[in-house]
């Protein structure tokens, strides 16, 4: 009789305990997927900037998107270690490109398709504050912009301190 009570309360290995462990594993996997999607699924190679770096004058790079993508994109012949080494020359520098708008997700974020072979978007630009001009931009518009290179990864490039040109 005591054994039957234990089984009814889910104390056997085939009852609630088995479901609970499977549910925990599923929850962990779900959390990993959500975090990956929320972070853009990218492997960030950026490092925190120091206070002295933010006080320095902003440096610019004249590299075109095509040249940049040749070095850091998924079709690049560079190895990961070569990309990491080259990234040191570009991280924190302002670039100016002209690309096709794929999405305006808020008053401070816009996505672009700069490589014509990209399926959706490959570049995301963030503004420090609301940018009213974003309200007038439509998907498919080709616009000129500049931003500071923040990170690169499997899902494209992140730029911040955006400016529309």
Segments of the chain assigned E as strands: 94-106, 109-113, 123-126, 142-153, 156-164
Report DSSP state, residue 57: P
* pTM score of the predicted model: 0.65
Q: CA dist 104 to 66, 108, 127, 162, Å? A: 23, 8, 12, 13
60-164: CATH class = mainly beta
- Outline where DSSP puts E strands in 77-116: 94-106, 109-113
- pLDDT by 10s per residue, the chain, length 165: 554 454 444 444 554 444 454 554 454 454 555 544 444 444 444 444 444 444 446 799 999 999 999 999 988 999 999 999 999 999 999 999 999 999 999 999 999 999 999 999 999 999 999 999 999 999 999 999 999 999 999 889 999 999 998
**Where exactly are the structural domains of the chain?**
2-38, 60-164
């Amino acid at each position: 009789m005591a054994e039957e009570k234990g089984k009814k309360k889910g104390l056997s290995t085939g009852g609630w305990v088995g479901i609970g462990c499977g549910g925990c594993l599923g929850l962990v996997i779900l959390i990993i997927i959500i975090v990956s999607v929320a972070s853009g699924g990218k492997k960030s190679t950026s490092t925190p900037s120091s206070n002295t770096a933010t006080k320095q004058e902003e440096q610019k790079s004249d590299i075109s998107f095509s040249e940049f993508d040749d070095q850091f994109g998924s079709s690049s012949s560079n190895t990961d270690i070569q990309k990491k080494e080259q990234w040191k020359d570009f991280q924190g520098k302002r670039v100016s490109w002209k690309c096709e708008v794929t999405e305006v997700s808020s008053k401070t974020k816009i996505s672009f398709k700069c490589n014509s072979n990209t399926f959706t978007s490959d570049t995301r630009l963030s503004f420090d504050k609301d940018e009213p001009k974003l309200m007038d931009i439509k998907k498919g518009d080709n616009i000129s912009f500049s931003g500071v290179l923040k990170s690169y990864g499997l899902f494209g490039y992140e730029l911040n301190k955006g400016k529309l040109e």
